[in-house]
With several copies, the nearest count.
Chain A
Amino acid sequence: MSKFLEEALILEQREVAQQTYRLRLRAGRMAEAACAGQFFMLQVREGMDPLLRRPFSFHRIHPGEGNIEVLYRVVGRGTWWLSRCAPQTRLNLLGPLGNGFQLPRNAGSPVAIVAGGIGIAPLCELIHRLLASRGTLEARDIHLFYGARSAGELLPESDLEDLGISVYRGTDDGSLGYDGFVTDLFRKTAEEKHIKPSVLYACGPLAMQYHVARWALEHRVPSQLSLESLMACGIGACLGCALPASAPAGSTADHYVHVCKDGPIFGAESIQWHKIQTHGAPPPIFLYS
Chain B
Amino acid sequence: MVASGTFGYGEEYADFLDLTQLGAVVVKGISLAPRPGNPPPRLVETAAGMINAIGLENVGVDVFLESKLPYLRDRHVPVIVNIFGNTLEEYAELAARLDGVPGIVALEINISCPNVKSGGMIFGTDPAMAARVVDAVRRSTTLPLITKLTPNVTHIGEIARAAVGAGSDMLSCINTVAAMAVDIFTRRPKLANIFGGLSGPAVKPIALRCTYEVLQAVDCPVIGIGGIATATDALEFLLLGARAVQVGTANFIQPAVTAEILRGMELFLRVQKLQSVEEYIGTLDRQCLFPFAEIACGMTDLP
Contact = CB atoms under 8 A, between A and B. Distances in A.
Contacts of A5: 16, 255-256
Contact of B40 (A119, A230, A237, A281): A230
B186 interface: yes
Given A244-B40, A286-B232, A51 B201 contact: yes
B303 A237 contact: no
A86 to B, nearest CB: 23
B184 to A, nearest CB: 8
Nearest to A255: B36
23 contacts: A3-B15, A4-B15, A4-B16, A51-B249, A52-B45, A75-B295, A181-B298, A204-B297, A205-B297, A230-B44, A232-B252, A233-B252, A235-B12, A238-B6, A239-B5, A240-B54, A243-B40, A256-B37, A276-B302, A279-B291, A280-B294, A283-B271, A286-B268
B250 to A, nearest CB: 9
A238 B5 contact: yes
B298 A172 contact: yes
B252 A52 contact: yes
B289 to A, nearest CB: 4
Given A3-B15, A75-B295, A207-B294, A233 B39 contact: no
Q: How large is the interface on B (under 10, 10 to 19, 20 to 34, 35 or more residues)?
A: 35 or more
Given A51-B48, A254-B36, A240 B42 contact: yes
Contact of A94 (B39, B50, B255): B255
B186 A279 contact: yes
Contacts of B289: 277-279
Given A240-B43, A256-B57, A279-B289, A118 B296 contact: yes
B204 to A, nearest CB: 11
A238 B252 contact: yes
A57 interface: no
B183 A282 contact: yes
Contacts of A147: 297
B290 A206 contact: yes
B251 A207 contact: no
A174 B297 CA distance: 13
A249 interface: no
B63 to A, nearest CB: 12
B280 to A, nearest CB: 14
B299 A181 contact: yes
B209 to A, nearest CB: 19
A239 B264 contact: no
Nearest first, the 7 A-B pairs at minimum CB distance are A117-B296, A281-B295, A116-B297, A207-B299, A237-B8, A240-B43, A254-B36
Contacts of A233: 6, 12, 251-252, 255
Contacts of B39: 242, 244, 254, 256, 275
A206 B294 CA distance: 7
Contacts of A241: 40, 42-43
A289 interface: yes
A145 to B, nearest CB: 12
Interface string A22-59: 00000000000000000000010000111111000000
A143 interface: no
Given A276-B302, A277-B289, A73 B36 contact: no
A148 B253 contact: no
A273 interface: yes
A278 B300 CA distance: 7
A208 interface: yes
B40 A48 contact: no
Interface in B3-21: 5-8, 12-13, 15-16
Interface in A156-174: 172-173
Given A53-B252, A289-B232, A208 B50 contact: no
Contacts of A105: none
B288 to A, nearest CB: 8
Contacts of B287: 277
A229 interface: yes
B13 A149 contact: no
A274 to B, nearest CB: 5
Contacts of B44: 230
A278 B253 contact: no
B201 A277 contact: no
Contacts of B46: 51
B292 A232 contact: no
Given A276-B290, A279-B188, 17 more contacts: A51-B253, A116-B296, A117-B295, A119-B297, A172-B298, A204-B293, A207-B299, A232-B252, A233-B6, A237-B12, A240-B42, A253-B36, A280-B186, A280-B300, A281-B185, A289-B231, A289-B264
A136 interface: no
Given A52-B50, A278-B302, A283-B271, A239 B295 contact: no
A241 B39 CA distance: 10
B49 interface: yes
Nearest to B34: A253
Interface string A245-289: 000000001111000000000000000011111111111101101
The residue among B49, B232, B251, B290 with the most chain A CB atoms within 10 A of its own CB is B290
B230 interface: yes
